[in-house]
Amino acid sequence: MAEYNAMKEVVNILDYVGENLTYKGESFYSMCTDFCQINEPVRQYYNGLAMKQQNLSDVGSRFQLTFPMMQVLGKELDLSPNFFGVRTNEDGQVEYVKIIMLQIRANIPKNWKKEDAAEYERMISQFFHFKYNSTYVTPLAMSLTYTGDEVVRTGLTIFPFIGVGFAIMTTFSIITIYYSSSRLDQWTIHKVSEAVLGCVCPLLATSSALGTLFWFGFRFGTILCVTPFLILAIGVDDAYLQIHACMRLTAEDSSMTKREKIARMLVEVGPSIAITSMTNLLAFLVGIYTPTPEISLFCAGNAVAILFDFIYQVTMYTAILSICENLEMRKNATKRKDSDLSFKNEQFTVMLDSYCDWVANAYTHLLVLFCFIVYLLVSIRGALNINIILSPDKLVIGDSPLLQVNYLRDTFVLPNYTTVNIFVQNPGNLTIESNLNYMNSLMESFESYPECLGKKFSHYFVRDYESFRESSLEELEMLEDEEGEPLNNQTVLEPFSKKAMSDFLAWPEFQHWNGFVKFDENGMLSRFWATVSYHGEGLGDFQIRRKMLNRWRATADQFAPLNVSIFDDYAPFVDTLETILPATISTSVCTLLCMMVVCFLFMYNVFTVFVATLAITSICIGVFGFLSMWGIDLDPISMACTIMSIGFSVDFPAHITFHYFREGLHDPQSTPAKRVARSLAAIGFPLLQCGISTILFVLCLLFVPTYMGEVFVKTMILVVTLGLIHGLFIVPAFLCAFTSIHETFFSSTKVKNSQSFSSLAKLFSWRISPSTSDNKISA
């Protein structure tokens, strides 16, 4: 960039932006007031190169092209805010420049609104990224508006893949339902409708939820683009349970009426659906109160969507199943009379019985306990080593120009020129010397850092103003000597009043200070802004920047009477991360407690609730720990996924524990192995369906190279994998172990407990009692 042709194009870009890129008739040069000359060092450096190019003899006396300070006609100009990646020779002459940064900073015209300023920034970014034909340089335009646009574009890029995921989910559903219904000799074309509409209901719930939120004034956030994927994964699980319950009931009793079958189906799977829906709902309701706005919005969207999905599942989708069952019963009435397939012969295979006997074995319990402890230790170790990092790179798609901008900034700009913006909101009367000295000590404190570039790289208006006043007073004294009479009218003004500083602020050399000072209605200085510059190899690293920001704030707190505030571009990210770890822990604990209460409402057995809660906690710890080992940092996106995983992890242990509990109510004398076998026969295949379909569904997010999609996919893979392991292996083993322990140590009360279970069953379970009149359901 230090070559003549490159510098010439840079100056041409500067002039083109200043004159030709207009919005509502305004260009940069027409609306800039205080910062029109902010890029003047770049222009003067080019002038020096141009004179060298022409081999003018007096170029050395006019221009000294050194870094960081160049000289123009004896005046020093600071190149450090504009030149980065600089290499100089022994004399300090610039030999190489990697990056030149231009700042387009201006006051918004009075007739413009906030949206107009955003459109102006967007126009500049789009011009250089899509229209400008460069010859020697690669221009990259970055602004807050463009950053927001890229974040929105990233989310909208994910959205179209809902169609791909829906196609994958429906195809998988049709294939698996065809397999299971064919084994029961219940396949009809109407099963296709059940499979497809089971995937449609969650999408309808998502659209209803998001529409409701937007209707009530909630804003759109790109993280809401993940909501349809999540709700579809949860809702399809409930549809699988309902479909398989209907098929199982038909296999048990083919003479059952449609009314009885739908009622029995809701009796069997309704509580499981209610448990998972309520726990998911509570998980996201708790997440709404997290301090990060995006996570709060994400949790609100998911909570409302889960509520709609539950309503649609037990009303609309149940009605759809009723219609399909009616059509199937009409078509296959004769076939089923001849088939009379036995539920026991179809489902309780030798393999399932052998597996459940193995799970109920005491040696298996010891093996499971050992593996479980090792798993927890590995997961906890991974969770403790997780990094807390958030950078803008995580918010945009892989082809975004912002990635290159951030790389150049972190690699070349920040290590060489990092500025802190110091806002003094109560400077007091600086005419009083003690107040002025106190103010100067504030700046000296920030300039005393080892990383500070030095006073001459700071922007503090008092120093230039004092030099200007000294020169003005010398001129006044000279005029007094020449004219022989005093000119005191210029010195009676308050030095730091608007009137006294008017000449200073109007001087071309000091005109930029207008953007640094504010006056009250009395014309006295009320606020000002100053900057101090730093350098250091580690300042491009997020953790070091985080420590530096805390040091700046600590220094500002030492001058409380001045009401000092610190601003840094990274401050919003740092402030967010400061709350993420405690918010994640508190949210997780509250969510687990809520889940425990919900489980107890449906499964009023201490051992069963304990196993379910332990399994949910174990899955969450595993997800958190393995995400860390998989290269995922703790940030708002992974925190949102963690909350999501807590809610989603309930599905697997809740189904198996509830069915195990229900089997104990219906048959208190049954062995643990028999209860596990019946439970797995009821929900084992639907759980496998749900797990595999969810993984296949979320994999379509990998077509879009985004961090958000990567975290979501990894989280869902871990949740499903660990959930299936817990639901089909660990939880059954623990349930059998606790049941055996209970029977061993409380055998004397076994008869009493059996009676207790029977009485609870009468209160809890709904039983179908066919009546000769209207087939009513009685409790």
Span of 294-303, 322-331, 367-376, 748-757 with lowest mean pLDDT: 748-757
Q: What is the DSSP letter of 316?
A: I
Answer for the pair 700, 164: CB distance below 8 angstroms, yes or no: yes
**What's residue 56's pLDDT?**
66
CA 372, chain centre distance (Å): 31
Please determine, for residue 773, whether its predicted confidence score (pLDDT) is greater than 50: no
**What's residue 571's pLDDT?**
79
Q: Is 386 helix (H, G, I), strand (E, B) or coil?
A: coil
Which candidate, 278, 202, 275, places its Cα nearest to that of 234? 202
The mean of the pLDDT values for the chain is 82
- pLDDT > 90 fraction of the chain, expressed in percent and rounded: 19
Answer for the pair 480, 415: CB distance below 8 angstroms, yes or no: no
Q: What is the DSSP letter of 86?
A: -
Q: Best-predicted range by mean pLDDT among 249-253, 464-468, 650-654?
A: 464-468
Q: Cα separations (Å) of 668 from 354, 380, 608?
A: 21, 38, 14
Once rounded to an integer, what is the mean pLDDT over residues 199-224? 89
User: Please, which pLDDT band fits residue 60 given cuts at 50, 70 and 90?
Assistant: low
**What's residue 309's pLDDT?**
92
351-396 pLDDT per residue, tens:
777 888 888 888 888 998 999 999 999 999 988 888 877 777 777 8
Q: Cα separations (Å) of 386 from 101, 434, 631, 713?
A: 35, 49, 9, 18
Question: To 5 degrees, how large is the angle CA 83–CA 416–CA 565?
Answer: 110
**What's residue 338's pLDDT?**
43
User: Please, which pLDDT band fits residue 124 given cuts at 50, 70 and 90?
Assistant: very high
Phi-psi region of 535 (alpha: psi -120 to 50; beta: other; left: phi over 0): beta
185-204 pLDDT per residue, tens:
788 888 888 889 988 999 99
Q: Say which residue, 391 or 773, is predicted with more confidence.
A: 391
127-150 pLDDT per residue, tens:
998 888 888 999 999 888 888 888
Q: What is the pTM of this model?
A: 0.74
**What's residue 644's pLDDT?**
76
Q: Is 713 helix (H, G, I), strand (E, B) or coil?
A: helix
Please determine, for residue 34, whether its predicted confidence score (pLDDT) is greater than 50: yes
- Cα–Cα distance for residue pair 715/627, rounded to 1 Å: 7
CA 445, chain centre distance (Å): 37
Q: Could you tell me the two tokens for 567? A: 């601003």
Once rounded to an integer, what is the mean pLDDT over residues 155-180? 84
- Cα–Cα distance for residue pair 88/80, rounded to 1 Å: 13
Once rounded to an integer, what is the mean pLDDT over residues 40-49? 90
Question: Exposed, middle or buried: residue 763 (CB in 10 Å: 0-12, 13-18, 19+)?
Answer: exposed
- pLDDT > 70 fraction of the chain, expressed in percent and rounded: 90
Count of all residues that appear for the chain in the document: 779
H or E element at residue 96? strand 94-96
235-263 pLDDT per residue, tens:
888 888 888 888 888 877 777 788 888 88
Residue type, 152: V
Answer for the pair 653, 637: CB distance below 8 angstroms, yes or no: no
Once rounded to an integer, what is the mean pLDDT over residues 570-576? 75
In three-state form (DSSP H/G/I as H, E/B as E, the rest C), the secondary structure along 432-492 is: CHHHHHHHHHHHHHHHCCCCECCHHHCECHHHHHHHHHHHHHHHHHHHHHHHCCCCHHHCC
DSSP-H helix ranges across 630-730 = 636-649, 651-666, 672-698, 707-725
In 445-538 the beta strands, taken as DSSP E runs, fall at 517-519, 525-534
Q: Which fold has domain 148-332+347-393+574-745?
A: Multidrug efflux transporter AcrB transmembrane fold (1.20.1640)
Find the largest Cα–Cα distance for the chain.
129
Handedness of CA 68, 74, 77, 79 (dihedral sign): negative
- Cα–Cα distance for residue pair 458/32, rounded to 1 Å: 22
**What's residue 328's pLDDT?**
76
User: Please, which pLDDT band fits residue 762 given cuts at 50, 70 and 90?
Assistant: very low
Please determine, for residue 750, whether its predicted confidence score (pLDDT) is greater than 50: no
Answer for the pair 603, 612: CB distance below 8 angstroms, yes or no: yes
Please determine, for residue 720, whether its predicted confidence score (pLDDT) is greater than 80: yes
- Cα–Cα distance for residue pair 64/43, rounded to 1 Å: 14
- Cα–Cα distance for residue pair 38/349, rounded to 1 Å: 81
Q: Cα separations (Å) of 147 from 132, 292, 478, 723?
A: 19, 19, 55, 38
Answer for the pair 198, 731: CB distance below 8 angstroms, yes or no: no
Please determine, for residue 620, whether its predicted confidence score (pLDDT) is greater than 50: yes
Beta bridge partners of 528: 424, 517
Please determine, for residue 31, whether its predicted confidence score (pLDDT) is greater than 70: yes
Please determine, for residue 625, whether its predicted confidence score (pLDDT) is greater than 80: yes
Please determine, for residue 633, whether its predicted confidence score (pLDDT) is greater than 70: yes
Task: Give the dihedral of Cα atoms 548, 551, 555, 556; nearest 10 deg.
Answer: 70
User: Please, which pLDDT band fits residue 696 given cuts at 50, 70 and 90?
Assistant: confident
**What's residue 483's pLDDT?**
60
Please determine, for residue 490, whether its predicted confidence score (pLDDT) is greater than 60: no
Q: What is the DSSP letter of 107?
A: P
Answer for the pair 642, 619: CB distance below 8 angstroms, yes or no: no
Which residues neighbour 492 within 8 Å (Cβ) at sequence distance 6 or greater?
Answer: none
Q: Say which residue, 83 or 91, is predicted with more confidence.
A: 83
Please determine, for residue 169, whether its predicted confidence score (pLDDT) is greater than 90: no
Give me the residue spans of the domains in the chain.
Answer: 1-147, 148-332+347-393+574-745, 408-485+495-573
Please determine, for residue 38, whether its predicted confidence score (pLDDT) is greater than 90: no
**What's residue 746's pLDDT?**
66
Q: Is 379 helix (H, G, I), strand (E, B) or coil?
A: helix
Q: Say which residue, 518 or 75, is predicted with more confidence.
A: 518
User: Please, which pLDDT band fits residue 286 given cuts at 50, 70 and 90?
Assistant: confident
Nearest-10 crossing angle of helices 40-53, 4-19: 140
Which candidate, 508, 501, 514, 440, places its Cα nearest to that of 472? 501
**What's residue 188's pLDDT?**
84
Rg (CA), the chain: 36
- Cα–Cα distance for residue pair 772/274, rounded to 1 Å: 31
404-462 pLDDT per residue, tens:
888 898 889 989 999 999 999 999 888 888 999 999 999 999 999 999 998 989 999 99
Question: To 5 degrees, how large is the angle CA 253–CA 254–CA 256?
Answer: 75
501-559 pLDDT per residue, tens:
888 888 888 888 888 899 988 888 999 999 999 998 888 887 788 889 999 999 999 99
Q: Say which residue, 385 or 603, is predicted with more confidence.
A: 385
Nearest-10 crossing angle of helices 258-287, 651-666: 140
- Cis amide prior to 705 (ω within 30 degrees): no
Which candidate, 657, 660, 583, 580, places its Cα nearest to that of 616? 657
313-366 pLDDT per residue, tens:
989 999 998 888 888 776 665 554 444 444 444 445 677 778 888 888 888 889
Answer for the pair 280, 232: CB distance below 8 angstroms, yes or no: no
Which candidate, 660, 626, 669, places its Cα nearest to that of 732? 660
User: Please, which pLDDT band fits residue 486 given cuts at 50, 70 and 90?
Assistant: low
